[in-house]
Structure 1
């Protein structure tokens, strides 16, 4: 498929749609913040090595690795940009569930998700601008969609930072209300991703085979590299098994819903980039669930061997 044709895979969005997408993006971050507690960050101060190692891997190493992969593989510019945007996103809330399923350190996972989400207010737009500008193909694309550093940073920080602050304030001052709202907001974020995938599939059904043959292999490779990076980061400081699982899953499960909303709202719903984010949203659930299942089976096998 040519660059032009794959970038035709998009949902046409008018000014009203852009405003709605901005609101959806703000609601996603508000929902993330409802899960954050000051105690999560106090835990970082008490035992900082594991969560800070995960934060460095997610915020610094994964975007750099994504840029290197895009430079080597050289996909079309919009696809490379989508990889960079997803790689710059913080961990998603599903990582906490998958970590729990895989008998990893769930508290560490929650702590890393909260930490990376707060840091993402600044780190996500900076990483997108930095690494996209260092790839000649995506740098040209930034100019094509008219992304200027100053306004982009200011708007993204506002969209991410304000709802994050409001969500954390609500969780602190009205924890019962926050607990009631948490689940609906998580469901809304997930439905937003699923609805986009369904809408795109319905309106661009002729591109389905290309999505499966051209986009998904890149998503699988990118996700595998992220999971490996998390595992290597954990092993580098000799984490125990539970902590290693948490860090591995956290680095491998990005908040692709946030990435997709950014693409739709800030990058003219560029087809290749949007398909990467949508594909990641599907695949990281599959890969995370598979890892958790393998870990659980391995634990059960070892218990049987010890009791024999």
Structure 2
């Protein structure tokens, strides 16, 4: 992997702005399914939500740290994995939870709460685990990460569309009902197309470095799914809730990770390649896991 940090991905400012817009559209489409009653219901029985958030923001970063101690990858690759683990759940997790027969309301609520919490928790987790792991400490020391700038980035890209989508759903219900399904499918198609185009534009770089990194990414993603399922099982959640927490923990917002890498880490090669591979792989593994769950009937006593 010599020279990975010297490579420059074909991902300019225009592409970065386009990715911002795409993620905002995806978040808006997800928010069209949200109502304030959803949050009130979750808050009346918050245990699954709290377990899910703990799995995402505590269990996954801790498992990432332990994995890095064992595998000892290139520091920039390790930093990329730490950043991905610090991001909130990916928006496609809601679609995959539905396919898996999980609790979609819990999944959407986790995405919403994690997105809001990411304003503080994402930069805090990056700073904590990045400094605890010695090889990545130097990267953080030479990188100026402004927590306020991170908060503004997350707010405009994720939280503002979340609020707008909920407002449309509340004030213009008929419109929301008409555009909800088409918007969700369209936003997913646009996001996948963007990833494929970006991959094609950087195919030579991925061919050269992906084989050395993909194994680490697959292991990391598997640990994320495993950590989510074990945390939900240990908390004695229902099977439907376990599926939601598992998928929400294993599907990370790697798109947000890429934006933060290019905005605050200068597009550091190892970080960018690791996050991009995560974005591709977790879509494949998530769909496979959803199909596996879908074949297993949820027990009647575990549908609450």
TM-score range, shorter chain: 0.7 to 0.9
Secondary structure of the corresponding residue to residue 219 of structure 2: helix
Distance of aligned partners of 1:181 and 1:235 in 2 relative to their CA distance in 1, 3 Å threshold = closer
Is the Cα contact below 8 Å between 2:4 and 2:270 reproduced in 1?
A: no
Distance of aligned partners of 1:201 and 1:67 in 2 relative to their CA distance in 1, 3 Å threshold = farther
Could you tell me how far 1:21 is from its partner in structure 2? 5.5
Alpha-carbon distance in 2 for matches of 1:123, 1:53: 16
Alpha-carbon distance in 2 for matches of 1:87, 1:127: 9
Distance of aligned partners of 1:141 and 1:199 in 2 relative to their CA distance in 1, 3 Å threshold = same
Find the counterpart in structure 2 of residue 115 from structure 1.
113
Find the counterpart in structure 2 of residue 289 from structure 1.
287
Find the counterpart in structure 1 of residue 214 from structure 2.
216
Alpha-carbon distance in 2 for matches of 1:70, 1:45: 35
Find the counterpart in structure 2 of residue 63 from structure 1.
61
Deviation string, structure 1 residues 232-263 (Cα, Å, up to 9, x no partner): 11111222222211211111111222222222
Could you tell me how far 1:227 is from its partner in structure 2? 0.6
Is the Cα contact below 8 Å between 1:10 and 1:270 reproduced in 2?
A: no
Is the Cα contact below 8 Å between 1:33 and 1:165 reproduced in 2?
A: yes
The answer on 1:280 being equivalent to 2:278 is yes
Structure 1 unpaired stretches of 5+: 303-308
Could you tell me how far 1:37 is from its partner in structure 2? 2.3
Find the counterpart in structure 1 of residue 96 from structure 2.
98
Find the counterpart in structure 1 of residue 49 from structure 2.
51
Is the Cα contact below 8 Å between 1:43 and 1:111 reproduced in 2?
A: no
What TM-score, normalized to structure 1? 0.82
Alpha-carbon distance in 2 for matches of 1:63, 1:207: 25
Find the counterpart in structure 2 of residue 236 from structure 1.
234
Could you tell me how far 1:188 is from its partner in structure 2? 4.0
Higher mean displacement: 186-195 or 259-268 = 186-195
User: Following superposition of structure 1 onto structure 2, how do residues 28-47 of structure 1 map, counting pairs within 5 Å?
Assistant: 29-47=27-45
Is the Cα contact below 8 Å between 1:190 and 1:257 reproduced in 2?
A: no
Deviation string, structure 1 residues 160-182 (Cα, Å, up to 9, x no partner): 44444444434433344455277
Is the Cα contact below 8 Å between 1:228 and 1:248 reproduced in 2?
A: yes
Distance of aligned partners of 1:209 and 1:31 in 2 relative to their CA distance in 1, 3 Å threshold = same
Is the Cα contact below 8 Å between 1:34 and 1:171 reproduced in 2?
A: yes
Is the Cα contact below 8 Å between 1:7 and 1:78 reproduced in 2?
A: no
Distance of aligned partners of 1:12 and 1:50 in 2 relative to their CA distance in 1, 3 Å threshold = closer
Alpha-carbon distance in 2 for matches of 1:187, 1:215: 31
Could you tell me how far 1:153 is from its partner in structure 2? 4.7
Q: Given the alignment, which residue of 260, 267, 270 partners 1:269?
A: 267
Structure 2 unpaired stretches of 5+: 300-304
Aligned residues between the structures: 299
Secondary structure of the corresponding residue to residue 299 of structure 1: coil
Secondary structure of the corresponding residue to residue 297 of structure 2: helix
Higher mean displacement: 105-114 or 173-182 = 173-182
Is the Cα contact below 8 Å between 1:197 and 1:278 reproduced in 2?
A: no
Alpha-carbon distance in 1 for matches of 2:127, 2:189: 26
Find the counterpart in structure 1 of residue 7 from structure 2.
8
Higher mean displacement: 169-178 or 74-83 = 169-178
